[in-house]
Amino acid sequence: MSEQTMIANRYMVVSSIGSGGMADVYLAIDTILNREVAIKVLRGDAGKDPVALVRFQREASATSKLHHPNVVEVYDVGEYDGRSYIVMEYVRGKTLKQLIRQRGALPVDEAVSIMKQLTSAVAHAHENNIIHRDIKPQNVLVKDDGTVKITDFGIALAHDAVQLTQSDSVLGSAHYIAPETTRGEIATVQTDIYSLGIVFYELLTGDVPFNGENPVQIAMKHMREDIPSVRDFNKKIPQSVENIIILATAKNKKHRYASANDMLFDLEVCLAPEMANVAKVVFDDSDSPNDGTVVFDETAKAKIPAQNDAQTAAQEVKPAKKKLSKKAKIIAIAALVFLLACATTAGVYFSGAIDGFGPTEYVEMPNLEGYEKDQAEDVLKKYGLELGKVTTEVTEDDSIQEGEVFKQSKKAGDKVAKGSKINITISGGTYFVIENYVGKNIDDIRSKLEANNITVEVKEEFTEDDEAGTILSQSGLSEGTKIKPNEKKTITFTVSKGKYFMITNYVGKQLSEVKPILEAQGIVVSVEQKESSDFAEGQIIEQKGLSEGDLVEPGKNATITLVVSKGESDSALRSVIGWEIEAAKSELSGSGYTVKLEVIDRPDGDTSPIKTVIKQSPEAGSTIKDGATVTLYYYQD
């Protein structure tokens, strides 16, 4: 299929991203929703194979039933150019197998996190009567944020589905295949659980437990050999974690986890502090004493002969070589009748043919979570169970509605004797948990607190750095305090009223620039003017009343005096011609002028005295500014 191909007038093919045994996968754009999708298209030759077609349809059917954050979502199915296709969520990232190859053994907490996601997804599939049958890292996609998603339900099997072929029961990958599947037994939820255990092993060690020259060798090892200990690979792996692998990969299904939810529960708690010193799980059917190791010891069941056993026993009663006496015949007949009676009684007992006589009848415990009390009671009645003690508890999970069941004394899926009383716990509402509100804006959290019956008291003060409304401290209720529904409490906040205004050095700045800023803070500005040859007109020469670094509370009517330059004043230059040169210099200097002296040559016939001013520049009467230069000319001899 070429690029730019449009499927169903909606999906534009961008590029090929992979191919499998019977289908090709393309990256495409959903032109209606403007999003990337993956399209799995059945190959042309595979479409002629009825088995391949059924498996492809089975994948679409299985995945479309599942809605879980860790299962790749199916958006659409259809047929294009005679070829079936599935439109799925496009996941950017890599496969879990690629991740393991790149990094090797993962840290325990990361491996547990991945397994919790996988097991939760598999449990969801099982609850929808779907067995994956090919769980392996190659079929798990890892997003950049660490989220994992199971894909490829191509050989998934519904509990009630018809097998495609006799060999359909042994489909799967040899490295992850359960022993009973190799023996040709039908796949069950425990088949997936075994595969999950192998994946967990690989995450913790970086490799699968068994390798071989061909799939048959590997499958035989799964049947005959014990799974190596992950703690032999890494002693730092907690025993509680290895126990999960032991229970998931038990070759005897009686020892293996009965449900994925059971395995998920152990994954949730395996790293808890109280699990730090658990003993290793072993399976021991012998009567040997327990040496402190956790032992799963099946109670020996007494074999009660069935009817056929009794008949066989009767058939095995052979006449003696010697002719029996009449008394012996009577005893033999009585023994035969007794054996037949035992067999008949056993048959009646185990068939439950007579009410009140026979073994206890068991039912599968229903899931009551999410039901209200009356609804839960109705469900229990349908299963032949009774409602026991009802407890109400406040929870921290806001997804649980008030009045809903969120705990039950027997786990869903467990076998429970009919007539048993089941205790339930109902939500009495959700705790409101106090947070650390320092640094947040009071307007952002006030309504949320008041909606939970918490009275909010506020004290305000000015600060150097915090914007108005910022919470500076809280008292009365500390972070982590749990408030029950309708419980009345009070919390007190100290809140910033705004920032103090800090006075700076305004000398040299223009009055027109500084005055509006100060007045906006409520500061009264007094202005004095002064002539100055050092500052241009309008520049501040001096500030009084408030100094640099002073903090002013806005609106407090503080006063500052700013001395402002009027600029230099102009004046008429007086005449000093005829003055003795030093006296003239002293006079002009005292008037603020800069005086420069220059000697000139006396012209012939000039009889003016020496060292007296002959000429001045500028001339007398000129208007000049303070500090201007005046040059005085005189004769030296």
Q: Specify the CATH number for the domain of residue 579.
A: 3.30.10.20
pLDDT at residue 334 in the model: 55
Domain annotation covers residue 1 = no
Domain annotation covers residue 628 = yes
Angle between helices 189-205 and 108-127 (to 10 degrees): 170
Domain annotation covers residue 278 = yes
Domain annotation covers residue 281 = yes
Q: Show the tokens assigned to 159.
A: 């509990």
Residues 414 and 443 in one domain: no
Which residue in the block uniquely carries the two structure tokens 């197998």? 97
HSE-CB of 490 using CA atoms within 13 angstroms: 3
Domain annotation covers residue 233 = yes
CATH of the domain at 60: 3.30.200.20
Query: With a cut of 50, which residues of the chain have pLDDT below it?
Result: 154-171, 286-324, 337, 340-341, 343-359
pLDDT at residue 195 in the model: 96
Q: Show the tokens assigned to 428.
A: 């009495």
Residues 61 and 99 in one domain: no
70 and 117 Cβ atoms separated by less than 8 Å: yes
- What SS3 state is found at 375? helix
> What phi, psi does 623 have (nearest 5°)?
-90, 115
Domain annotation covers residue 239 = yes
Q: Which residues, 6 or more positions from 299, have their beta carbon under 8 angstroms from its beta carbon?
A: none
Which residue in the block uniquely carries the two structure tokens 């305004």? 506
The sign of the dihedral angle between the CA atoms of 378, 380, 384, 390 is negative
210, 200, 204: which is closest to 175 by C-alpha? 210
**List 30, 45, 134, 207, catalytic entry:** 134
**Cα distance between residue 584 and residue 591, in whole Å:** 11
CATH of the domain at 183: 1.10.510.10
Residues 183 and 250 in one domain: yes
Domain annotation covers residue 176 = yes
452 and 419 Cβ atoms separated by less than 8 Å: no
**Cα distance between residue 68 and residue 127, in whole Å:** 12
**Sheet-wide strand order for 471-475:** 454-463, 489-499, 471-475
Length of the chain: 637
Give the count of domains, the chain. Answer: 7
Q: Which of 516, 549, 567 is the last residue of a domain?
A: 567
Q: Show the tokens assigned to 355.
A: 């009410």
Give the CA angle between residues 437, 442, 447 to the nearest 5°.
95
**Cα distance between residue 123 and residue 412, in whole Å:** 12
Backbone region of residue 522 per phi and psi (left: phi > 0; alpha: psi in -120 to 50; beta: other values): left
Q: What is the 3-state secondary structure (H, E, C) of 268-289?
A: HHCCCHHHCCCCCEEECCCCCC
pLDDT at residue 411 in the model: 87
Residues 60 and 28 in one domain: yes
Q: Show the tokens assigned to 282.
A: 């072993």
445 and 437 Cβ atoms separated by less than 8 Å: yes
Q: What is the pTM of this model?
A: 0.46
Q: Which residues, 6 or more positions from 301, have their beta carbon under 8 angstroms from its beta carbon?
A: none
Q: Which domain holds residue 324?
A: 307-351
Residue type for 179, please?
A: P
pLDDT at residue 493 in the model: 94
Domain annotation covers residue 292 = no
Buried b (16+ CB within 10 A) or exposed e, 365-396: bbebeebbbeebbebbeeeebebeeeeeebbe
**Cα distance between residue 590 and residue 594, in whole Å:** 9
Residues 406 and 541 in one domain: no
Residues 492 and 615 in one domain: no
The strand pairing partners of 415, in sequence order, are 364
Q: Which of 410, 430, 450 is the last residue of a domain?
A: 430
Angle between helices 326-351 and 307-315 (to 10 degrees): 160
**Cα distance between residue 375 and residue 368, in whole Å:** 9
Residues 105 and 167 in one domain: yes
379, 489, 482: which is closest to 429 by C-alpha? 482
91 and 72 Cβ atoms separated by less than 8 Å: yes
Residues 623 and 512 in one domain: no
Q: Which long-range contacts (CB under 8 A, 24 or more apart) does 25-29 make?
A: 26/1, 27/90, 28/87
Q: Which of 32, 58, 89 is the last residue of a domain?
A: 89
Residues 56 and 75 in one domain: yes
Q: Show the tokens assigned to 301.
A: 């069941």
149 is in an annotated binding site: no
pLDDT at residue 215 in the model: 86
Told to judge if 134 belongs to the known catalytic residues of this protein, a careful annotator would answer yes
Residues 276 and 234 in one domain: yes
Residues 272 and 145 in one domain: yes
- Give the β-pairing of 405-408 and 524-531: unpaired
Residues 547 and 577 in one domain: no
- 197 burial via Cβ count (<10 Å: 0-12, 13-18, 19+): buried
**Cα distance between residue 272 and residue 238, in whole Å:** 10
